[in-house]
Amino acid sequence: MMWWIRLKALIIKELLAILRDPRGRLILVGPPILQLLVFSYAATLEVKNVDIVLLNQDSGAWSQELVNRIAGAPTFRGIERVGSSEALRARIDAQQAIAAVHIGPTFSRDIAAGRAADLQIILDGRRSNAAQIVAGYLNQIVNQLSADISAGRRGAGQTVIVVPRNWFNPNLIFQWFMVPNLVAAIALLIGLVVTALSIARERELGTFDQLMVSPLRTHEILIGKVIPPMIIGTFHMTIYILAAAFVFGVPLRGSLLMLYGSSIFYLLSVVGVGLFISALSMTQQQAILGAFLFMVPAMLLSGFATPIENMPDWLQPITYASPLRYFLVIVRGVFLKDLPLDEAVNNTLPLALIAFLTLAAAAWLFRRRME
């Protein structure tokens, strides 16, 4: 039982090192909650409150009809009318509007005469994602008008009604997507920095040598370093899961037990990467920057903000190295989809593998440094 007493002392010491300082306690609890609140509302790919510019050179009824329909769409916040193409260009240049609609002088006459009426839509390609979505909205409005004009004519084609059905998230609420994502991402963020610093700090302060001459064996030191960040990580995830369910109203359709079960392996893999970085670094600064060097690509290539399937084929294999990639599937799945057990296991096994490899590598570096 000696080993347990030794280990327990080390774990308590590790927890104290992080939690003793009141500012340290504050920073582990306050900002992550603030982040969840701010970022879950900020990180939205929806396009709303759009300002557009209108250059209408036509005085007929059809252009008026088109303008009314655009003004009536909830996406558009302000429509500024300008008198010249120079003014239109200036608005787009300065990003005061993301799109401009230019209606030529013969628009209504052409429609009345049955000729194809020209309409120009200009979009700001600097924000190509939002611009494409806005273009989609504008085209939908124009197509509908076009269809209504055709329906008024003889011999028009039949209309096909598209019935949308959104599974798992009927109203496509963006927070239902973002909040589970953030549960996983912030656990990575905090877990990585806390662990990466743990050995580097001791090395910088010189206490690492003291640890080495203590009766603790290498694997005991490693376990002592792994458990405290796991406790902190589990605490964070619990707060986040509670917030997701009770503050944001994200439905929890799957098994909570499965979520916690796989989160152990996720946290282990995060801590493993952190310890590996820590064992490599000589100073705290190197440890933090090293953690960053891993974290940024791990987040960007995980499917967190943009789907993996949009990435080029050669890049997709690299995403397999990011623990976040697997855990995102599990968190999103458990919250919204009632993820089947075998799929959860399929995504937990790679996490266990990452954890094993990084912890083994950290232990090896440890031992090598000792000699």
Partner 1 sequence: MSTEALVGTKETAPPTGRARRFTALVRKESLQVIRDPSSILIAFVLPLILLVIFGYGVSLDATHTRIGLVIEDATPITQDLAASFQASRYFAVATGRDRREFEEDLVLGRVRGIVVIPANFADVGAAGGSPQIQVIVDGSDPNTANFVQNYAQGVVGTWMAQRAAEIAMRPPPISVEQRFWFNPELASRNFLVPGSIAIVMTLVGTLLTSLVVAREWERGTMEAMMATPVTATELLAGKILPYFILGLASMSLCVLIAVFIFGVPFRGSVLALYALSASFLMPALGQGLLISAATKNQFLASQLALLSAFLPAFLLSGFLFEINSMPWIIRIVTTIVPARYLIPSLQSVFVAGDIWPMFLRSIAVMLTIGVVLFILAARSTRKRIG
Binder of partner 1 out of 121, 212, 247, 365 (CB under 8 A): 121
Binder of partner 1 out of 59, 81, 83, 93 (CB under 8 A): 93
Cβ neighbours, 10 Å, residue 162: 4
Least Å distance between CB 3 and partner 1?
29
For residues 173 and 356, which CB has a smaller minimum distance to partner 1 in the complex?
A: 173
Binding status of residue 42 toward partner 1 by CB under 8 A: yes
For residues 163 and 213, which CB has a smaller minimum distance to partner 1 in the complex?
A: 163
Interface positions, 294-323, toward partner 1 (CB under 8 A)? 296-297, 300-301, 305-307, 309-312, 315
Stretch that binds partner 1, among 33-41, 79-87, 207-215, 352-360 (CB under 8 A): 33-41
Binding status of residue 48 toward partner 1 by CB under 8 A: yes
Interface positions, 195-214, toward partner 1 (CB under 8 A)? 197, 201
Residues with Cβ < 8 Å from 124, sequence gap 6 or more?
Answer: 92, 95, 97, 98, 99, 131
Residues with Cβ < 8 Å from 138, sequence gap 6 or more?
Answer: 70, 99, 101, 121
170-209: burial string, b at 16+ Cβ within 10 Å, e else: eeeeebbbbbbbbbbbbbbbbbbbbbbbbbbbbbbeeebe
Least Å distance between CB 215 and partner 1?
28
Count of residues that bind partner 1 according to CB under 8 A: 114
Binding status of residue 330 toward partner 1 by CB under 8 A: no
How far from 83 is each of 44, 87, 104, CA to CA, in Å?
A: 34, 7, 12
Binder of partner 1 out of 139, 210, 218, 238 (CB under 8 A): 139
Binder of partner 1 out of 15, 29, 39, 365 (CB under 8 A): 39
Stretch that binds partner 1, among 5-13, 174-182, 239-247, 268-276 (CB under 8 A): 174-182
Binding status of residue 286 toward partner 1 by CB under 8 A: yes
The span from the CA of 19 to the CA of 247, in Å, is: 27
Comparing CA positions, the residue from 222, 233, 214 lying closest to residue 18 is 233
Binding status of residue 188 toward partner 1 by CB under 8 A: no
Least Å distance between CB 97 and partner 1?
11
Rounded to the nearest angstrom, the gap between the alpha carbon of residue 302 and the centroid of all alpha carbons in its chain is 9
Comparing CA positions, the residue from 88, 259, 97 lying closest to residue 187 is 259
Interface positions, 214-243, toward partner 1 (CB under 8 A)? none
H/E segment holding residue 301: none
Binding status of residue 84 toward partner 1 by CB under 8 A: no
